[in-house]
Amino acid sequence: MIEIELNNIKKNYGLKNILNGVSFEIKTGEKVSLIGSNGAGKSTILKIICGIETQDSGNVNIRKGSTIGMLNQIYEDEKEDLIVADFLKRSFEEITKIENKMKKLEQEMSTISDNEELQRIINKYGKIQEKYIVLGGYEIEEKYNKICSGFKFNEVFLRKKYNLLSGGEKTIVNLATILLKNPDILLLDEPTNHLDIQTLEWLEEFLKSYSGTVLMISHDRYFLDEVTTKTILLEEGKQKIYLGNYTYFLEEDERRTLAEFEVYKSQQKQIAKMKESIKTLRKFGEIAKNEMFYKRAKSIEKRLEKMQVIDKVTLEKRKINLDIKMNNRSGNDVLRVKRLSKKYGDNIIFEDLNFEIFNKEKVCIVGKNGAGKSTLLKIILGQEKDYEGQIEIGSNVKIGYIPQEIKFENEEETIFESFMKIYVGNETDARRFLAKFMFYGEEVFKKLSKLSGGEKVRLKLAQLITKDVNFLLLDEPTNHLDISTREVLENTLQEYDGTILFVSHDRYFINKISNRKIEIKKATL
């Protein structure tokens, strides 16, 4: 049964054509991912399906009677001053109302002696109870506890005021609320943001066993591999459909690209032959003074004009080609942590941590949210002074840091102006260096305030590498990056000749970059 159908959807924002005839269908129970670069129109499609936005043309058909739950990326404060528990329980307001009606009828039945009146109330109770069963009333408490357990909502968190939560916490609470409602169609825009690995794994299992239809946007490739069975790529306003998960998409997309390239090469050979024939026939016509040769040449010319020329297929993916010689190599011992302990009041974050990091190692710190991963980085950087134990930085170690939220001193500066403040060399060499980080031509004059998350990471890396940094500390570097930009970052870090210590929840990224993992668990290493 078809749950969602899009037919020739077009959408423009000003002069920008976001969607240019997108068509696809999703069947009941399918788990589908929408992928594509930032700005490709993924979130727009979700908003059109649930009615938040309207398309300029085309049709959207949703199966009659289907309920839709939509997770956004950003949530505002509520007008009511609710605690988290009450916010979650609003998900089953209808069930609560029916339950109250049933309790009222139960009280009436216990006091009525007239058989006819009693039978009337029993019949009424039966009809209400049927609706209660259909809505899952008898399972709601079990479901509530399961969701709270999965998202690690303890009693302290449940008593917090919703409006005082961080943006990430609000998103997680709203995701829990949607799952409690159990809609027929789940539309999820970046559901994995702000989740630690353990919660991600729980959500994967939940969605795999979910009986409804799921359409999601996520840049977490490991998550997509685990959950989805169909992938829709949005590219240049059109869709490409792949009947498998993300890894299948990569393999099939490469196969299709190579096949398209062969077709392109074949057509180019044909065009070259036709042009050569035109040239030869005209030459013969000139020599023989025979109009027939000119007519044949004209006929081939017309065929050439009518031919639908295939665009050249790009085989190479975007990649930063560093090829930068590091002049400032560190010693073999880069970092030594001895008996490190940190607490806030009576709350012990971690205690007695001991580990070493050596030259050229790429080490990932993993652990639950709140385990102290970012705090550990801040202690190593010297930003956090209140701790016990020792941090020993090795000889000739020069540290560079990329935080979760990258900010620049003057957001009104251009990429070029900001870079030239630290670059030792002339403007031509600086432009050439920035090009290694995919800032080409006029792009270098883009204001810092207008940069995307991926552009900020690339510029920050360029600045650190030109400073000859040999020890990179990265705190969730893939946050806010689309998949293609994550792949660019992975290629860069794989080529980087220094040492890396990073925090990440992106399992695909972790497996690609790290050669060692250290986990902070229950305050120990």
Structure tokens at 263: 């077709």
Q: Which of 93-102, 124-133, 374-383 has the highest mean pLDDT?
A: 374-383
Confidence of residue 347 (pLDDT cuts 50, 70, 90): confident
Comparing C-alpha atoms, which of 199, 218, 198 is closest to residue 71?
218
Instruction: Say whether pLDDT at 171 is over 70.
Output: yes
Confidence of residue 484 (pLDDT cuts 50, 70, 90): confident
Is the separation of the CB atoms in 477 and 307 below 8 Å?
A: no
Average pLDDT, the chain: 88
- Region of 383 (left: φ > 0; alpha: ψ -120 to 50; beta: rest) is alpha
Instruction: State the Cα–Cα distance between residues 58 and 500, nearest whole angstrom.
Output: 49
Confidence of residue 238 (pLDDT cuts 50, 70, 90): very high
Instruction: State the Cα–Cα distance between residues 523 and 347, nearest whole angstrom.
Output: 10
Q: Where do the structural domains in the chain lie, given as residue ranges?
A: 256-306, 333-519
Would you state the pLDDT for residue 109? 82
Averaged pLDDT for residues 490-494: 87
Instruction: Say whether pLDDT at 361 is over 90.
Output: yes
Instruction: State the Cα–Cα distance between residues 25 and 339, nearest whole angstrom.
Output: 57
Question: Sign of the C-alpha dihedral, residues 505, 226, 193, 345?
Answer: negative
Instruction: Say whether pLDDT at 262 is over 70.
Output: yes
Confidence of residue 129 (pLDDT cuts 50, 70, 90): confident
Instruction: Say whether pLDDT at 63 is over 90.
Output: yes
pLDDT in tens, 429-479: 999 889 888 888 888 999 998 888 778 888 988 888 888 889 999 998 888
Confidence of residue 167 (pLDDT cuts 50, 70, 90): confident
Instruction: State the Cα–Cα distance between residues 97 and 194, nearest whole angstrom.
Output: 33
Instruction: Say whether pLDDT at 77 is over 90.
Output: no
Q: Which of 187-201, 228-242, 328-342 has the highest mean pLDDT?
A: 228-242
Would you state the pLDDT for residue 10? 94
Long-range pairs for 135-142: beta carbons < 8 A, 24 or more residues apart: 135/92, 135/94, 135/95, 135/98, 136/95, 136/182, 137/95, 137/98, 137/99, 140/92, 140/95, 140/180
Averaged pLDDT for residues 325-344: 86
Query: What is the model's pTM?
Result: 0.78
Confidence of residue 284 (pLDDT cuts 50, 70, 90): confident
Would you state the pLDDT for residue 53? 92
Percent of the chain with pLDDT over 70: 98
Helix axes 453-466, 483-495, angle to 10 degrees: 10
Higher pLDDT, 285 or 417: 417
Instruction: State the Cα–Cα distance between residues 190 and 71, nearest whole angstrom.
Output: 8
Its CATH architecture, for the domain 333-519, is 3-Layer(aba) Sandwich (3.40)
pLDDT in tens, 314-328: 766 655 565 555 667
Confidence of residue 491 (pLDDT cuts 50, 70, 90): confident
